Structure 1
Amino acid sequence: MAQLPTYGTGQWNEKEFGDHRAVIEVGKPGNAVKVHVPWRRRDDPTRKGLIIVDAFSGKPVKNVYTLTINAEYGDIIFEPVTGPGEYYLYYMPYKLGGSWYFPSTAYLKPDSSYSTTWQQQLNIKDLPDAKVLRFEAINSFNSFYPMEIMATQQEVKELLEKNKEKDFLLFPEDRKFPVRMDSAICQRWIEKGEGGTFYGLASRNEFYVYQLGVFAAFHALKNLRLQFSDLENPTGGKISAAAIRCFNLEGKDWLGQSFKKEVLVDKGDVQSLWIGVDIAKDQQPGVYHGQVKVSAEGVKERSVPVQLTIKDMILEDRGYNELPTLARLNWLDSDIGLDDSVYRPYTPVVVKQRTVNILGRTLRFDKYGFPDKITSSFTGSNDGVNGPSRDILNGAVKMVVVRDGKELEWKGPAPAVHQPSAGAVSWETQLEGDGIVLKVWAKMECDGYINYQLTMKALKDCMVDNMELRIPYARKAAIYMMGLGCKGGVRPERWDWKWEKKKANNMLWMGDVNAGLQCKLKNETPDWALYNFDKTGPYKDWSNDGKGGCHVLEEADKVMLTAFTGQQQLRAGQIIHLNFGLLITPVKPLSQEHWSERYFQADPPLANWRKEASEKGATVMNIHQGNMLNPYINYPFLATDTLTKYVTANRSAGIRTKLYYTVRELTNYTREIWALRSLGDEIFSPGKGSQLADQFADDGVGGNLFSTGGPWLVEHLGKNYDAAWHTPLENSEYDMSIRTQGLSRWHNYYLEGLNWLVKNVGIRGIYLDGVGYDRDIMKRVRKVMDRAADSCLIDFHSGNNFHPSYGLNSPANQYMELFPCLNSLWLGEGYNYNENPDYWLVEVSGIPFGLYSEMLNNCGNAYRGMLFGMTSRLGWTGCDPSALWRLWDRFDIKNARMVGCWDPALPVKCSDSNVKVTVYRQPKKLLIVYASWAENNTNIRLDVDWKSLGWNPKQVSIYFPEVEGLQKGPLVGNLTDIKVEKGRGGFIIIEEK
């Protein structure tokens, strides 16, 4: 085999040159030289241009003529413009297009602009040869070496001939060299040869990872399987086969349920199988031997000998702290936080007969298993849980089947109740009605969520007119509404909704501040379709090919929600799933800690975040992604040294630090990315990727080739990825992410990662910009953090999704099932703060659900925001709420009780209904906040119910405090003639003398 050029890294600043080059040595002077470039590429080089420059001067070479260009090599003639010396051949030059957060990569097309006179004078046979000294990548992260350096066709042919008696080829590989190519083999494997023993070196208590590359060289492999032997040493030590597993073939999902996977490898493709060995802490040191048997349907089984040496050294962290070991792959199958225990601030579920009591709420279910009474005892502006019970329902929830114009009568046993833990209770029964069996299973949890799974089975062929879920809301409680495409605010008398093919807004909330109920129609299998039905389609049984829908109709003393399927023909044995979830609101009392949890939302660049936060009074800092502390989206583990020091210094300054850390997209810097890619579509969402080779399309601009996402994704992932958020880093590189699945084993890893970050880095919470998981994961997040450290916060942010492109969805409704686990909201981009107060209450404030929120767009409206306990956040887009924070401290608002503008017990009334008032009440003083929605400037009078306060109006002082930038003062005043400018308001403090 001819000696290959070496591979390394170089340095250059010209991004348009691309990330890869060959260093060429020209030894003799002349008008032209010929060079053979054995680049062994994965892409199609015939569709990309070349740039050659003199290495010393940077002078470009204009005359470049290609003899032969293919994936294996290029034979190129060029004019050495400065004579003998080194030249750089940039063979994947590109330009970035699109937006900075979602760029596209356009590769330079082949250029034939060389001088025809120069070309015609060439005597190709007699040209001196230049030599490729080495290949260089712009840095090691962008390098193709060694796992993306392709074997040549001849090398592969010889390999297959040498192993033609085998049904497939095996290449044991160390974790240092993750398999990257799935449709070709690398030159490294040609050098190593096929088969052989895998040799590994591990420590006691380590989770040790290695891989097997399986090459389906001769035919497709169906149902690929592995069988592990025990690993044994001569002195009697043993690692049981039960301690060894392959992530590609089995695992535990996000609900802790074990599963098996069937792996198919098409002919000519490569499948990497990642294997984990769980080594015990007391494992005897020594050399262990065993084997892995590899089999597939219809082929001869093969074995790989394994020799694993266990050092006499204990890894207390199992190897998790060293990312290159990939030991954290063990986290994929974690069940951390997966239980039905009670979590803060909730109380144990108490069941008496068919009545379930939880924090501030009760539910009673009837003999059919459906709620017939739901009450709330939350009080006032949601500041307590011991008030009088308030009915949310006016009658029983029913599942009705109508056939031939008549409702079927259900008969069956009373529900059986099960309560294996204090945090949840379930009940189930089976009902039958004239040839249809209805199985009812429900689970109610300590936070007020009830999950219903309804299964209907037809015992005979029959036509049904309709299947209807009927929920009768008490009219006195159903004051407000949002969902099913209806914007939040005062409930309309009637609302009609039908399933759409693409958009998901299949949920509804109706209620009042202290008593409400959300209903969400659910799919047969769990999903997290927030905006659209791209993967699931409209839930087929509820939708019934578009015949299904919902009606909301006011009827005397109730408001009936009817979810229906429409007419359908049922066949004997057919099963229909009509699942739904209920959430009783509010989910918890409003927390007085809100007044001391004052946010600095860190916005790059780093600058003097801590100094500004401390000086202005912030107590909590959110570290966003895309800066030096947290550069890589949803993968903070590569910068934890710097982050830990910063978090520690913040703590010394009295500031809790929270981190942008979620799922939904994942950085290309993820150390486990190749192992995750080997799992197919399990972790990463499928996509068109870069449309490599002949699938490239001309973008019509400058004759370049267009690809999706940044160049690293294009050049290394190539295909079947869905490009997501891109962020420029400080070193002129990009953090490039791809989308992840809505629910997958990656969520288990994410939870373990969160636990690690709290314990090892010292973060005290997370900032969620959108949420890429359902309430089962969110409950685990809450429990993991609470168990890892005290005072952890979960802060949720979303833009406004009430837009046709998002299916007219209100985030407060979409994410409501997660609210029990959250500490705060930040509902920002796209929200119109000129909307009416009812919209503010329902869509923005979070108050009807037991959470405070904050404002974002143009820093919101400080006066209107304070009606709902809201401010903007310090640090983000120039917002500065510190003047209001100082007002809070002067008034001691943390020890006050909020009586909101929506509360019938409000002790202050305004003469103008377009000016709303909220009162913060202490025993001896009031803070009155007023804000105008009037179309013009106005004058108002405030009438105080002194009797309800128990105060003598002659023994009080009234003044308007100074609030920098919002109100001049301090001014002594009265309540009878207050000027209010359009869109503004003010603050008044009344103290009892």
Structure 2
Amino acid sequence: MSNYRPTMLSFTKGLVMAAWLLGIPVFSAAQEVKYTVGKPTWMADSLGNHRAAVAFNGNGNIARVLIPWRRRDESPEKKRIIVQDAKTGQKITNVAVISINREQGDICFEPVSGKGHYYIYYLPYKNEGSSNYPKGIYQAPENTADQKWLSAIPTGRPKYNVTVKELQAIDTFNSFYPMEVIATAAETKQLQQQHKDVAYLVFPEDRLLPIKMTDDLPAKWIRKGPQQSFSGKADKGEYYAFQLGIYALKAVPEITLSFSDLKSADGKVIPAKALDCINTSGVKYDATPFANKVTVPAGKIQALWCGVNVPDNAAAGIYKGTVMIKPTGMPAVPVELSITVTDKQAVNGGVNEPWKQTRLKWLNSTLAQQNEVIAPYLPLELKDHVISLLGRKVFLNPDGFPAQIQTFFTPEMTSLSTQAKDLLAAPMHFHFVSATGKDVTWRNTGLNITTQDSGKISWQSASTSPELQMEVRASLEFDGFMDYTVKVTALQEVHLKDISMHIPLQQAASKYMMGLNQKGGYRPEQLSWKWDVANKNQDGAWIGDVNGGLQFSLRDEQYVRPLNTNFYLQKPLLLPASWGNNNKGGITIGAGESAILVNSYSGEKTLQQGDTLYFNFHLIITPFHPVNTDFQWANRFYHRYNSLDSIKATGATVVNIHHANAINPWINYPFIEHARMKSYIDEAHQKGLKVKIYNTVREVSNHAYETFALRSLGSEIYTPGKGGGYSWLQEHIGKNYLAAWFVPDIKDAAIINSGMSRWHNYYVEGMNWLVQNVGIDGIYLDDVAFDRVTMKRIKRVLTKDGHPGIIDLHSANQYNNRDGYINSAMLYMEHFPYLNRLWFGEYFDYEKNDPAFYLTEVSGIPFGLMGEMLQDGGNPWRGMVYGMTNRLPWSDDADPRPIWKVWDEFGMQGTQMVGYWVADNPVKTDHPQVLATIYKKPGAVLVSIASWAATDTHVKLQIDWKALGINPATATITAPEVDRFQTGAVYEKGGAIPVEKNKGKLLLIK
């Protein structure tokens, strides 16, 4: 942002309203004041980010100064003043505040060094709370002055004998100049009087000076006055942004803008459709139209960010036209536009210079929205109402609901089978129970396929009864995601005892469960759950086995994705009016003789004629694809910015660049140091390494060039909240935001995103730019705040033109009160089809949780993925049962390289993984709590055993030698020496093998 902030700017003050240098107004009092960056700098965390540099020219021990600081913060009289001797750095204790307000401060102090320079700090704060979530507390006024010195101040107050030389910020990024230097109350009142007959004023503003305040006029605008014209200069092909600042003298209702063509003197035209305003219209993240109602309360300021998409082939020249501002029921105000198009051709539409706000056009991007099939998935096939997709089939009933769902994955999960596994014991269906206790009977119109392409098939069906009509619209996508909209309309007044949806599941496809207050593990025999959206981010569950399962989520038409990762309680789920039914609804799961019945009920409900309810739901069919074990063995992640030679020496192959380092300093905004990033990635590629970067959506750095343009969009991009946090946010964002992650060393302060918004369009475009211009090989996601629509788009741009597009997802365990007791795997299952690896480890307990928890919530295997461990280095013995190690160099106590060495010496590439969960695994132990997974190749097998037994124990291996293809007569069983894992040993066939509590063995049979 320093690209557009000057380091020293000045203005001259006259008696009342003197002219500002550069056309900017100044204050009363006859002296020159400069806005600068302080040199030398100072410690912000004790003195704050702002000070007045003053010079004492008088005599005696009482200095008095009037500082015309024009502050935007509220209640400055409640904040401390610190005076410091510039020569010695000594804090001066004899200070007396005559008066302080937002416009100026009248202060006396003792000039301890006599004539000379002093500093007066006026926003000192201290950070409290955690280092990454600080609370900037502005210090209260203090009384340190000696009574004797105070009594020496004349009753009539001394004359001013101090000159304000400069108003300094600690750096350019913290400067208030010029757009946060406020107009005085008198200046504002005078402006209002001059224009008392109009409802609003227009202040066009350059793109390099974002409008930042909504409650105060910039003093700059007082001198310049309202304008009805704007001129700018743009290159060919550039997106040229500019602002229209609306100052409401009266409440301004909904504003619309209309643009005319821009025409040159010789008849050349930039058509009106090339102009837009991001505040009023655009395209949502899901490619549907965006329309926003912009109103401005009386006394407030609203920035309207407009842009001109200058055509690539535009002729150089001056183009003129008009933008008409049209508030409903108020006179329209025209603003004349004059855009000079240069002979220069913008590079990449100007987006390579984002400080010019050229990337604002990304907010309305539709890049990668086409629902093209993404590898390894296959095009959908439809035959006789049966839809086939990779490893799965869906059979549709005439009412639009699934009659059967099948999967074709082997229990090993490494390949597909010709043998189908049925997930349903009976068709899915709804029950509408009348007041008499009888089911409503329906007449169905049959199934109608509405759209069919390789990536998505949609259908609809309608059912009617004398009392009700049910319209079903649904679709299935190539990854196994099913979306149902079930609209129920009352044709007459009707009282219903209950409305419920039944999912009858096969016993064999319902071994495990997570969701609905259940940690990942074995499915309970009975479960009864009620909605509690204020506290719990729960609206469904996953029930399944390793090679077949189903996630269901209950929604209605008002669904909004809640916040996650510490912020669920600030923006929780909305209770579905249908399923929730004023907390009458819930879910029961029970085991019957032949099926597991998932009963989602809404309870008693009376509908009036014309009433409509939406019983919407999602289904996700798992697994998504076979497990790619070879990718796991070949791609070894190094998760830190470091020298590439040292990384390569570890044996790692993929570098994950987190944020807060030299090439990726700003969280979720990896664009400012992109040149250094590209240089690093180019070198990595030369050395045979891949590089992925941290970049996600949940929060965004305050260093983003577009921060204040995004703030002009209200709560669309940034979620409303209590404010606070690091001082920069309080001083420049002001209020109504949620402070997020903070990096103390570089003062990077993030702001929480609202959730689903056009920022996802920007995110997709940004990823595409990083792939094409910087060469990233993928991304590291640290929890996710977007849905599968954006994930699909991201995968497409990351893999475009043959790029590897590797995505790994980290999640801290979100099964806690701050996150609404949601299982991380439940929360992110819709993203799993596009991931290459999981890193579900932070706050996961690897010691106390059982194998079923590992399998369902950590490993990723039931979904076609593999993972790694994190918390405290994980448990390497248990991890290897699922093919997991920890990640370099995350934990010094759990270095994965010794196990990597075993992989390389054994030759893991091409092996077949057969987990303990496979019934006919050729190698088992005789202890039910000591489990074995094998990695098999011709003539040899690597056996991983891990113990969940309560004590140290001994086990014997039960080996199917024929299945292994090994002659037992000549076979040997050895434990290779593995540093910090096990000592070398040789074991007799059929002999006892010692296994320590919570540990295990790696055994080589050949």
Query: So what's the TM-score if we normalise by structure 1?
Result: 0.95
> Which residue of 2 is the match for residue 862 of structure 1?
876
> Which residue of 2 is the match for residue 895 of structure 1?
910
The aligned runs of 1:560-579 (5 Å cut-off) are: 560-579=597-616
What's the RMSD between the two structures over aligned residues?
A: 1.6
**Does 1:275 find its partner at 2:288?**
no
Per the TM alignment, residue 967 of structure 1 is displaced from its structure 2 partner at its CA by 1.8
**Does 1:886 find its partner at 2:886?**
no
**Does 1:667 find its partner at 2:701?**
yes
Per the TM alignment, residue 220 of structure 1 is displaced from its structure 2 partner at its CA by 0.6
> Which residue of 2 is the match for residue 824 of structure 1?
837
**Does 1:475 find its partner at 2:507?**
yes
> Which residue of 2 is the match for residue 143 of structure 1?
175
The range that moved more, 936-945 or 645-654, is 645-654
Secondary structure of 2:208's match? coil
User: Is there any run of 5+ residues in structure 2 with no aligned partner, and where?
Assistant: 1-16, 19-25, 27-31
Per the TM alignment, residue 788 of structure 1 is displaced from its structure 2 partner at its CA by 5.0
The range that moved more, 10-19 or 177-186, is 10-19
> Which residue of 2 is the match for residue 694 of structure 1?
none
**Does 1:921 find its partner at 2:936?**
yes
Per the TM alignment, residue 845 of structure 1 is displaced from its structure 2 partner at its CA by 1.1
Alignment partners' CA distance in 1, 2:998 and 2:913: 22
The aligned runs of 1:203-242 (5 Å cut-off) are: 203-217=235-249, 219-242=250-273
Q: Contact conserved, 1:415 with 1:428, CA < 8 A, in 2?
A: yes
Matched residue type, 1:933: W
Q: Contact conserved, 1:436 with 1:457, CA < 8 A, in 2?
A: yes
Deviation string 1:765-788 (CA, Å, 9 cap, x unpaired) is 111111111111111111121225
**Does 1:717 find its partner at 2:733?**
yes
The aligned runs of 1:636-675 (5 Å cut-off) are: 636-675=670-709
Secondary structure of 2:241's match? strand
> Which residue of 1 is the match for residue 857 of structure 2?
843
Secondary structure of 2:920's match? coil
The range that moved more, 5-14 or 154-163, is 154-163
Q: Contact conserved, 1:602 with 1:609, CA < 8 A, in 2?
A: no
Deviation string 1:376-426 (CA, Å, 9 cap, x unpaired) is 111131111233111111110001211121111221211111334211101
Residue of structure 1 aligned with 2:82, choices 36, 51, 56: 51
Alignment partners' CA distance in 2, 1:488 and 1:64: 63
Secondary structure of 2:189's match? helix
Per the TM alignment, residue 158 of structure 1 is displaced from its structure 2 partner at its CA by 2.4
> Which residue of 1 is the match for residue 663 of structure 2?
629
> Which residue of 2 is the match for residue 541 of structure 1?
578
> Which residue of 1 is the match for residue 145 of structure 2?
114
The aligned runs of 1:957-972 (5 Å cut-off) are: 957-969=972-984, 971=986
The aligned runs of 1:494-533 (5 Å cut-off) are: 494-502=526-534, 503-529=536-562, 532=568
Secondary structure of 2:472's match? strand
Alignment partners' CA distance in 1, 2:759 and 2:272: 25
**Does 1:368 find its partner at 2:414?**
no
Alignment partners' CA distance in 2, 1:513 and 1:264: 53
Report how many residues are paired: 966
Secondary structure of 1:235's match? coil
Matched residue type, 2:772: K
Residue of structure 1 aligned with 2:889, choices 875, 880, 891: 875
Alignment partners' CA distance in 2, 1:419 and 1:783: 22
**Does 1:28 find its partner at 2:58?**
yes
**Does 1:12 find its partner at 2:27?**
no
The range that moved more, 637-646 or 897-906, is 637-646
Alignment partners' CA distance in 1, 2:744 and 2:593: 59
**Does 1:948 find its partner at 2:963?**
yes
The aligned runs of 1:231-630 (5 Å cut-off) are: 231-403=262-434, 404-502=436-534, 503-529=536-562, 532=568, 534-603=571-640, 606=641, 608-630=642-664
Secondary structure of 1:858's match? helix
Matched residue type, 1:941: K
Q: Contact conserved, 1:7 with 1:134, CA < 8 A, in 2?
A: yes
> Which residue of 2 is the match for residue 773 of structure 1?
786
Per the TM alignment, residue 527 of structure 1 is displaced from its structure 2 partner at its CA by 2.5
Q: Contact conserved, 2:563 with 2:785, CA < 8 A, in 1?
A: no
User: Is there any run of 5+ residues in structure 1 with no aligned partner, and where?
Assistant: 690-707
Per the TM alignment, residue 120 of structure 1 is displaced from its structure 2 partner at its CA by 2.0
Deviation string 1:511-540 (CA, Å, 9 cap, x unpaired) is 111111111112324422366574543222
Going from structure 1 to structure 2, the CA distance change for 1:965 and 1:72 (only over 3 Å counts) comes to same
Per the TM alignment, residue 122 of structure 1 is displaced from its structure 2 partner at its CA by 2.0
The range that moved more, 235-244 or 935-944, is 935-944
**Does 1:177 find its partner at 2:209?**
yes
Alignment partners' CA distance in 1, 2:630 and 2:804: 11
Going from structure 1 to structure 2, the CA distance change for 1:201 and 1:250 (only over 3 Å counts) comes to same
Q: Contact conserved, 2:718 with 2:751, CA < 8 A, in 1?
A: yes
Secondary structure of 2:398's match? coil
**Does 1:167 find its partner at 2:202?**
no
Going from structure 1 to structure 2, the CA distance change for 1:242 and 1:22 (only over 3 Å counts) comes to same
Per the TM alignment, residue 972 of structure 1 is displaced from its structure 2 partner at its CA by 6.4
Matched residue type, 1:718: G
Residue of structure 2 aligned with 1:91, choices 122, 126, 129: 122
Secondary structure of 1:842's match? helix
Per the TM alignment, residue 709 of structure 1 is displaced from its structure 2 partner at its CA by 0.2
Per the TM alignment, residue 250 of structure 1 is displaced from its structure 2 partner at its CA by 0.6
Matched residue type, 1:192: K
Deviation string 1:87-145 (CA, Å, 9 cap, x unpaired) is 11111111111110110111121223312222222234553521111111000000000
Per the TM alignment, residue 157 of structure 1 is displaced from its structure 2 partner at its CA by 2.3
Q: Please identify runs of 4+ aligned residues in structure 1 that moved more than 4 A.
A: 530-533, 970-973
Q: Contact conserved, 1:767 with 1:796, CA < 8 A, in 2?
A: yes
The range that moved more, 441-450 or 386-395, is 386-395
Going from structure 1 to structure 2, the CA distance change for 1:146 and 1:951 (only over 3 Å counts) comes to same
Per the TM alignment, residue 973 of structure 1 is displaced from its structure 2 partner at its CA by 4.9
> Which residue of 2 is the match for residue 129 of structure 1?
161
Residue of structure 1 aligned with 2:995, choices 964, 974, 980: 980
Deviation string 1:342-370 (CA, Å, 9 cap, x unpaired) is 11110000000110000010000111111
Alignment partners' CA distance in 2, 1:126 and 1:833: 71
Q: Contact conserved, 1:436 with 1:458, CA < 8 A, in 2?
A: yes
The range that moved more, 667-676 or 258-267, is 258-267
Secondary structure of 1:318's match? helix
Alignment partners' CA distance in 2, 1:989 and 1:31: 87
Going from structure 1 to structure 2, the CA distance change for 1:128 and 1:510 (only over 3 Å counts) comes to closer
> Which residue of 2 is the match for residue 912 of structure 1?
927
Q: Contact conserved, 1:825 with 1:846, CA < 8 A, in 2?
A: yes
Going from structure 1 to structure 2, the CA distance change for 1:125 and 1:900 (only over 3 Å counts) comes to closer
Deviation string 1:681-715 (CA, Å, 9 cap, x unpaired) is 111000122xxxxxxxxxxxxxxxxxx20000111
Going from structure 1 to structure 2, the CA distance change for 1:145 and 1:363 (only over 3 Å counts) comes to same
Matched residue type, 2:908: I
Percent identical pairs in the alignment equals 39
Deviation string 1:149-207 (CA, Å, 9 cap, x unpaired) is 00112222222233334331111110011001101111111122211421100010101
Matched residue type, 2:49: D
Alignment partners' CA distance in 2, 1:715 and 1:782: 38
Matched residue type, 2:437: G
> Which residue of 2 is the match for residue 735 of structure 1?
748
The range that moved more, 123-132 or 368-377, is 123-132
